[in-house]
A and B are shown apart, each in its own frame.
Chain A
Amino acid sequence: MSNDVFDRADEVLGLFRRGAEFTRELLEQNKSLRERLASVESHQQDAAQDNGEWGKLRSQLLERIDGLECENHDAIERVAALEDENQQFANRYLEIEEENNSLANLYVASFQLHSTLDLSEVFRIVTEIVINLIGAEVFAVYVLDEKNGALEPVASEGAPLKDVPAVRLGQGLVGGSVAEGETAFADPENSNDWSRPLVSIPLRVDDRAIGAIAIFKLLSQKTKFTPLDHELFTLLAGHAATAIFAAQLFSQSERKLNTIQGFIDLLTK
């Protein structure tokens, strides 16, 4: 009987010991879980903090992209502006080239016209200018005979001089342009009619009529008058007239000088 009691007591003690051990294991597991929970919470907090950094970085990068896009846009606009400016320079260059051509022609024409006081040489130079710089095939140069009021042909190209009729001052396109002192244009079509030139350029010194240049036909490769031709008409109207007038005066003075010299020689012999 007493042995049974002791056996039962040992059994109960063993049961308690296993219960205590189980409880200790439970406590250790609990502690371990708490530590893991704390660790997870800590990671979560860190993650939450990193997300803020990323957001900040992302925001900075987006701002930078916006900035670069703006710069890119400005650069494209600047390139477009430079291209536009470049085009303007190219156009200006062409204009200057044109201007240079015009000035070269005008300079040469003016230089040649005033290079001589020989009347026949002046007519030759006027003829050269009209052929080479304007590109006329048929034309005539007239000089006003003040005694009878007729414009007499003194030089021609493309037709014999004897075939070119004289023109009364004030009559027809040529006579009218000289009387009025205005360049006159007729049919754009080439004409062989001596009374209907393509253009009549009056030659005048101040208000004094000197003569005219009438162009009847252009060279086959030249289809119309250019702006340079109009400048040459203006130049010829003034400079050819002055050159002819100066050569006429020089010729007259030479003749008078010879006459006077003849008298002096006669008187002193």
Chain B
Amino acid sequence: MERRNRILIVEDSPTMRQLLVFALKRLRNTDITEAHDGMDGLRKVTADDYDLALVDINMPVMDGLKLISLIRDEESLKEMPIVVITTEGADEDRERALALGANEYLTKPIQANKVLQVARGLLKTEPASS
């Protein structure tokens, strides 16, 4: 059976979600799921297997840092790569996110090709097109 990558985008801004989907659609054989806040993200990440999660920090209901901490507490999700996307560019914010278990840290405004490059690096393998 054909192997497909699964990516979860957790972002409250529809504009950013659409831009991220637009960027990640260039990955071959990849399914993208959207979540509109941290709680929605937690529900989706625990319900299905994902190869990568992109998480915004400032979100309603549950922020991104709390979500990352909960994801890393879950044994089965410890290895899932997480990319943080945020407006906060300060070093301490970056260090805090990485200390919680994020693998990469992208600051806004983001570039579609930068997102794509980071996603490719963390997915390791991009399934060949059928």
Contacts and interface: CB of A to CB of B under 8 A. Distances in A.
Contacts of B89: 219-222
Contacts of B108: 131-132, 135, 219
B18 A101 contact: no
B87 interface: yes
B23 interface: yes
Interface string A102-140: 001101110110000000000001001101111101000
- Which 8 A-B pairs rank lowest in CB-CB distance, beginning with the nearest? A221-B89, A135-B109, A128-B15, A104-B112, A108-B19, A221-B107, A220-B89, A101-B112
A256 B87 CA distance: 42
Chief secondary structure at chain A's binding surface:
helix
A97 interface: yes
Nearest to A222: B109
A133 B87 contact: no
Interface of B: 13-16, 18-19, 22-23, 87, 89-90, 107-113
A128 B13 contact: yes
Contacts, number: 59
A100 interface: yes
A112 B90 contact: no
A111 B87 contact: no
Contacts of B14: 112, 125, 128
Q: Which of A109, A131, A132 has the most CB of B within 10 A?
A: A132
A230 to B, nearest CB: 14
A133 B109 CA distance: 5
A105 B107 contact: no
A109 B108 CA distance: 15
Contacts of A104: 19, 22-23, 112
B111 A132 contact: no
Contacts of A100: 112-113
Interface string A137-160: 100000000000000000000000
A112 B19 CA distance: 10
Nearest to A220: B89
Nearest to B113: A97
A131 B18 contact: no
A137 B58 CA distance: 14
Given A107-B22, A219-B108, 13 more contacts: A97-B113, A101-B111, A104-B112, A105-B19, A105-B112, A108-B15, A109-B15, A112-B14, A128-B14, A128-B16, A133-B15, A137-B87, A221-B107
A132 B56 CA distance: 11
Contacts of B16: 128, 132
Q: Which of B15, B90, B107, B112 has the most CB of A within 10 A?
A: B15
27 contacts: A97-B113, A101-B111, A104-B23, A104-B112, A107-B22, A108-B19, A109-B15, A111-B18, A128-B14, A128-B15, A131-B87, A131-B108, A132-B13, A132-B16, A132-B108, A132-B109, A132-B110, A134-B109, A135-B109, A219-B87, A219-B89, A219-B107, A219-B108, A219-B109, A220-B90, A221-B107, A222-B109
